Amino acid sequence: MNCELCEQAGGDIIWQDDRLRVVAVADPHYPAYYRLIWQAHVKEMTDLPRADRDWLMRAVFAVEAAIRAVARPDKINIASLGNMVQHVHVHVIGRWTEDRHFPNAVWGEVRRPDAVPAVVDQVRLAAVIRQALDALQATGG
């Protein structure tokens, strides 16, 4: 079985431990878009033991908090779909009311083909995400 998230990182890895990695998604329309990818091949969240799910979700919320603090989006979107790549991963996306799809999901119809992406200091955001995940890890999640 070929799984693209088993074979490739799926983006620039900005933090990882033995259970999950956080990658920055290179989407020109979405400057505050991260994916948390479970390192092992698991299809559904409920295939994970509860402690692992808790760890994944706490990491998701640490990324959400970092995006809010640094990029100040109008809304956060979180989703775990996996229809195309059936390997647990969670999208965490900063959204702006004037972005390409708002208020649609980023998987929905484009509303503003010429939307100008928000300006986000991605270097600082990645650093804040790393700090937050180091801190979470230090407290055992």
Give the H/E segment covering residue 23: strand 20-24
Taking the least distance from each CB to a copy of itself, the nearer of 12 and 110 is: 110
For the CA atoms of 66, 38, 19, 76, the dihedral, rounded to the nearest 10 degrees, stands at: 10
Least distance CB 121 / a copy of itself (angstroms): 20
Taking the least distance from each CB to a copy of itself, the nearer of 12 and 103 is: 103
The pair of three-digit structure tokens given for residue 83, joined into one six-digit string: 């229809």
Taking the least distance from each CB to a copy of itself, the nearer of 12 and 40 is: 40
Q: Would you mind telling me the total number of residues written for the chain in this entry?
A: 141
Peptide bond into 28 cis (omega under 30): no
What does the binding site for a copy of itself look like in residue numbers (CB under 8 A)? 43-46, 50, 53-54, 57-58, 61, 64-65, 68, 75-84, 86, 95, 102-105, 107-109
Taking the least distance from each CB to a copy of itself, the nearer of 12 and 31 is: 31
Return d(Cα 65, Cα 62) in angstroms, integer: 5
Least distance CB 34 / a copy of itself (angstroms): 14
